[in-house]
């Protein structure tokens, strides 16, 4: 990573003016709670239509955990939504490599679509039960190690939903 900005902020990811917003999606890609529900609500019906088309054309079983795929962003101020499915600790998905893959594959997709700025939520730190400090360590390590960051992607912003999440990501960025 050279000459890229990597930062953490408290905010609403649906209002981020970046090229790509990462959605902590469920495997159906058809909306849900938390970040996923907020992104679908703010993006409008066009996002759901694109997700349904993806499911029909290339992902009939849904998006696997740890993978990522892009759609347009509908009415969001971003150009792209990159959907990734984080591991659900409550369902026994406790392998940190699955979580790391979410961040790595999302950055792969961002570089492929030409996104120079990307906003990430704390994937799997909400209802999927992962400790936010562990998510922060894994996310920051993957971003720092990814070859697209600094080459293609110039800004990675972690947009966090709470003070404790911001503290965890700030600590990970400082180490």
Q: What is the pLDDT of residue 131?
A: 97
What is the share, in percent, of the chain residues with pLDDT greater than 90?
95
What is the spatial distance between Cα 159 and Cα 64, in angstroms, rounded to a whole number? 24
| Closest CA relative to residue 127, chosen from 164, 89, 160, 165 | 89
Exactly one of 3, 12, 19, 36 is catalytic; which is it? Answer: 36
What is the spatial distance between Cα 87 and Cα 138, in angstroms, rounded to a whole number? 13
Q: What is the pLDDT of residue 16?
A: 98
Q: What is the pLDDT of residue 3?
A: 82
Contact 75, 42 (CB under 8 A): yes
What is the share, in percent, of the chain residues with pLDDT greater than 70?
99
Within the chain, how many helices (H) and strands (E) appear? 5, 6
153 pLDDT more than 60: yes
Q: Which residues contact 9 (CB under 8 A, 6 or more apart)?
A: 157, 158, 159, 160, 166
The pair of three-digit structure tokens given for residue 156, joined into one six-digit string: 């990675």
Please write the tens of the pLDDT for every residue from 74-111. 999 999 999 999 999 999 999 999 999 999 999 999 99
Which sequence spans correspond to the domains of the chain?
5-174
Backbone angles phi, psi at 23, to 5 degrees: -105, 125
User: Hey, what CATH topology would domain 5-174 get?
Assistant: 3.40.220
Q: What is the pLDDT of residue 126?
A: 87
95 belongs to the catalytic site: no
What is the spatial distance between Cα 57 and Cα 41, in angstroms, rounded to a whole number? 23
Contact 70, 78 (CB under 8 A): no
2 pLDDT more than 80: no
DSSP 32: -
User: pLDDT band at residue 51, thresholds of 50, 70 and 90?
Assistant: very high
Average pLDDT, rounded, for the chain: 96
Q: What is the pLDDT of residue 1?
A: 52
């Amino acid at each position: 990573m050279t000459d890229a900005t990597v930062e953490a902020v408290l905010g609403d990811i649906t209002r981020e003016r970046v090229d790509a917003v990462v959605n902590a999606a469920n495997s159906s890609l058809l909306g849900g709670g938390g970040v996923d529900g907020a992104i679908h609500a703010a993006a409008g019906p066009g996002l759901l239509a694109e997700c349904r088309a993806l499911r029909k054309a290339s992902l009939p079983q849904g998006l696997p955990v740890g993978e990522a795929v892009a759609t347009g962003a509908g009415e969001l101020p971003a150009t792209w939504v990159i959907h990734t499915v984080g591991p659900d600790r409550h369902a026994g998905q406790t392998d940190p490599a699955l979580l790391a893959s979410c961040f790595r594959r999302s950055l792969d997709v961002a570089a492929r679509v030409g996104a120079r700025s990307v906003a990430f939520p704390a994937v799997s730190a909400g209802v999927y039960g992962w400790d936010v400090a562990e998510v922060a360590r894994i996310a920051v390590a993957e971003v720092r190690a990814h070859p697209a960051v600094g080459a293609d992607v110039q800004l990675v912003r972690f947009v966090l939903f709470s003070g404790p999440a911001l503290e965890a990501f700030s600590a990970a960025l400082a180490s």
